[in-house]
């Protein structure tokens, strides 16, 4: 569907009536175009082959060529403009058309489609949000919406103000190897949930865990070497059912799994599943 509109510019006199018998001059920006030496070349055709002599004349408010409404074409984008009425009195004098021309947003199909939508109040509030913070507020998104993603190490360590992603959660669940130093096996719960311990010597002692977080749980996979009979004792921080510390399987290459959970008071509750391999 098309809408009919007037393609020709309308010129008015000083009283706001359609300008009859007016004279229009076009010249170099910043000059008086009524002075012949300041005038720019004007044409009646878009190809700019038919000169239009100045002053251009008006009839009923429009520029005419041989009394017929006509368009006027220029080589330049900017120009000065003088409009005189039939008595030769100045109606308007513009030093630059660029300074007086209203600028419009170029037509864009996406913007047109957006304007045609019947948006709700909520939808309009999203479109008119002043900044990202206002948009999050309108969409009822908390601060987590802009938190950086936690790495596996940051998740294990309980680093504050990080968002969790499934890939990093599973990466954090991967087993971390424990080692012995001076017969003591340190267990830093900020570095993993699940661990492995290769029993290649001993006797060793499993130290009290550090960086405990209530609710954390996991396992320690304990493997005897080809010799077997390696011994492991437990710091008193490890609490077992009945108050009795378990004894590892002694067969060569035997696999035991120590399961643990940090209780609400920080106590480490554990149990040993033996002979799994």
pLDDT tens, the chain, 277 aa long:
556 667 788 899 888 899 999 999 999 999 999 999 999 999 999 999 999 999 999 999 999 999 899 999 999 989 999 999 999 999 999 999 887 655 556 677 887 776 677 767 777 777 777 777 777 777 766 666 678 888 999 988 989 888 888 999 999 999 999 999 999 999 999 999 999 999 998 899 999 999 999 999 999 999 999 999 999 999 999 999 999 999 999 999 999 999 999 999 999 999 999 999 7
- Report pLDDT for 116: 73
Q: How far is CA 146 from CA 85, 127, 132, 205, 260, in A?
A: 64, 19, 10, 44, 34
DSSP 172: H
- Report pLDDT for 147: 80
| Cβ burial 156-167 (10 Å sphere, 16+ → b, else e) | bbeeeebeeeee
- Report pLDDT for 100: 65
Cβ pair 231, 203 in contact under 8 A: yes
């Amino acid at each position: 569907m098309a809408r009919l509109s007037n393609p020709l510019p309308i010129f008015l006199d000083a009283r706001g009536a359609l300008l009859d018998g007016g004279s229009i001059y076009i010249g170099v920006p910043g000059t008086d175009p009524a002075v012949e030496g300041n005038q720019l070349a004007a044409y009646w055709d878009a190809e700019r082959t038919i000169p239009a002599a100045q002053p251009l004349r008006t009839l009923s408010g429009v520029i005419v060529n041989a009394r017929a409404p006509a368009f006027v074409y220029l080589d330049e984008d900017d120009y000065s403009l003088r409009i005189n009425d039939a008595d030769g009195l100045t109606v308007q004098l513009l030093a630059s058309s660029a300074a007086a021309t209203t600028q419009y947003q170029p037509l864009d199909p996406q913007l047109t489609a957006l304007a045609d939508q019947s948006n709700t109040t909520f939808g309009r509030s999203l479109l008119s949000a002043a900044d990202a913070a206002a948009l999050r507020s309108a969409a009822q998104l908390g601060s987590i919406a802009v938190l950086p993603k936690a790495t596996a190490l940051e998740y294990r360590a309980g680093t504050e103000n990080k968002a969790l992603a499934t890939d990093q959660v599973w990466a954090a669940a991967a087993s971390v190897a424990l080692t012995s130093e001076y017969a003591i096996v340190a267990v830093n719960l900020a570095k993993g949930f699940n661990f492995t311990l290769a029993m290649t010597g001993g006797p060793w002692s499993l130290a009290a865990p550090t960086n405990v977080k209530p609710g954390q749980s996991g396992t320690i996979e304990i493997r005897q070497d080809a010799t077997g009979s390696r011994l492991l004792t437990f710091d008193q921080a490890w609490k077992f059912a009945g108050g009795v510390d378990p004894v590892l399987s002694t067969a060569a290459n035997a696999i035991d799994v120590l399961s643990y959970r940090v209780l609400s008071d920080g106590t480490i509750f554990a149990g040993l599943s033996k002979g799994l391999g």
